[in-house]
């Protein structure tokens, strides 16, 4: 009998689905160039687990428009993966290099279960609820911390001041 896969997907930053920050800085376009390295260092994954999905530049107007989509895959164990999607979009003045950039970070956690029948699936779900829950919560907390650290690193790269206390991406929790 073939086994069936069940995937449970959860948002990391509940009640929000994403962290959004807007930065006004000198040369914000440099974020696109360092994004893969930044993600690799922040999420502590290998180069094979960070991806550039899309990069677009538009230099036809008065301001340079920039856009980028990136993903990071952080495998936690045999059944759990944290996927983080990052969208960077903004504008930059070609003469002064001043501009604004908006960064959206959307982390999700995926838990995949395999079962060959309904009884096995019920046992696996019971295992998740009774024994795996604490480990799952630790994964979520680490993922929240990574979003905070990422914001700090972006601010450092753009040479900006730190966030005010209580305004951190996961501070409501």
pLDDT in tens, 85-136: 999 999 999 899 999 999 999 999 999 988 888 898 888 889 888 889 999 9
Handedness of CA 110, 116, 121, 123 (dihedral sign): negative
Average pLDDT of the residues in 150-168? 78
Alpha helices in the chain (DSSP H): 30-43, 118-127, 133-157
Q: Which residue has the tokens 């995926």?
A: 110
Average pLDDT of the residues in 149-171? 75
Average pLDDT of the residues in 8-35? 92
Rounded distance between C-alpha atoms, residue 51 and residue 71, angstroms: 5
Which pair of structure tokens corresponds to residue 171? 């501070």
* pTM flag (> 0.75): yes
């Amino acid at each position: 009998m073939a086994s069936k896969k069940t995937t449970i997907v959860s948002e990391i930053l509940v009640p929000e689905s994403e962290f959004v920050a807007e930065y006004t800085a000198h040369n914000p376009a440099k974020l696109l160039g360092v994004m893969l390295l930044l993600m690799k260092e922040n999420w502590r994954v290998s180069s094979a687990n960070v991806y550039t999905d899309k990069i677009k530049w538009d230099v036809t107007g008065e301001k340079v428009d920039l856009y980028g989509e990136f993903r990071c895959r952080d495998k936690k164990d045999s059944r759990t993966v944290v996927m983080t999607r990052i969208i960077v979009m903004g504008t930059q003045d070609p003469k002064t290099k001043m501009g604004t950039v908006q960064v959206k970070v959307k982390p999700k956690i995926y838990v995949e279960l395999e079962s060959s029948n309904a009884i096995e699936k019920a046992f696996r779900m019971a295992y998740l609820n009774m024994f795996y829950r604490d480990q799952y919560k630790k994964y979520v907390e680490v993922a929240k911390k990574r979003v905070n650290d990422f914001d700090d690193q972006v601010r450092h790269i753009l040479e900006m001041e730190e966030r005010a206390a209580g305004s951190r991406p996961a501070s409501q929790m």
